[in-house]
Chain A
């Protein structure tokens, strides 16, 4: 269900560009909002997963792990390092 829905909307978005809008520029207000969609969505995804447990806010092992991963990414720009350290730090804190 989710897979079919995602496939349909992705295909529709990618097909609309070349035909419906072929050659014309999109209005600036639209592009301006689209550029900012990723930071808004990503920040919300990080916040809800690192600081929330179901329907309540909670600081726990994965909060620490994500923070550690973020530090690694900040200094190394490595997404693999960020993810590996985040998992390792979470597992460590959880095992304490």
Chain B
């Protein structure tokens, strides 16, 4: 529902918002893309940022792969059902996944996601002047909440600070959307030896290939 309201705020028509939820079905990527468009960024920057946001699905869907039945096409189709919570829910903790649970949880999430977008988009129309209501603060506040959730490790906090610094320095010199893309380079801190060793340890501790 929040996506519908925000898409409305970003200038999307109700139908466009619902279509996006129906065919993209990746919340954080959708929020990222429309917020860049809302800030005046181009379609290319919006899609690129959404792609980076979605890159986590690569290791996630690769981990699920062996648990899916059927040929390559069917497995690829089932891969579309991978979303954060159904992935986490269906993980058996030993590296395998409950296929039926994953598909079922995603089916429910899909219906509520698309339906909620429709309700939010329609309800968004009924709201008055977005500036007077402070609705422009919704996007950054939402991302801020997600960010605070991510800052569990020392390294994540460092990367967030670096990303912030890169983005703010670039704002006056580059078109909207670009600072966010360049800031993603901060994640390359993950290439340092220590970060890789920690990621390895985490993988082994969790007992599942991510």
Contact = CB atoms under 8 A, between A and B. Distances in A.
Interface of A: 1-3, 5-7, 9-11, 13-19, 21-26, 28-52, 54-57, 61-62, 65-66, 69-70, 73-74, 79, 82-83, 85-92, 94-95
B172 A57 contact: yes
Nearest to B208: A25
A90 B9 CA distance: 15
Contact of B168 (A3, A16, A51): A51
A89 B134 contact: yes
Interface string B13-25: 0001001100111
A3 B23 contact: yes
Secondary structure at chain A's binding surface: helix, strand, loop or mixed?
A: helix
Given A5-B47, A57-B168, A66-B137, A32 B199 contact: yes
B96 to A, nearest CB: 11
B54 interface: yes
A12 B88 CA distance: 21
Given A18-B68, A91-B133, 18 more contacts: A6-B50, A7-B24, A15-B76, A17-B58, A17-B59, A17-B65, A22-B62, A23-B66, A35-B56, A36-B156, A41-B52, A44-B180, A47-B183, A49-B39, A54-B40, A62-B134, A74-B148, A94-B131
B200 interface: yes
B114 interface: no
B76 A18 contact: yes
A65 to B, nearest CB: 4
Interface of B: 2, 16, 19-20, 23-26, 28-30, 32-35, 37, 39-40, 43, 46-47, 49-66, 68, 72, 75-80, 82, 131-148, 150-151, 155-157, 159-164, 166-168, 171-172, 176, 179-180, 183-191, 195-196, 198-200, 203, 209-210
Contacts of B189: 36
B140 A10 contact: no
A13 B51 contact: yes
Given A7-B23, A22-B75, A57-B168, A40 B59 contact: no
B151 A39 contact: yes
15 contacts: A9-B50, A11-B80, A14-B61, A14-B82, A17-B58, A18-B62, A21-B58, A29-B196, A32-B198, A38-B56, A41-B180, A44-B167, A49-B35, A56-B171, A61-B137
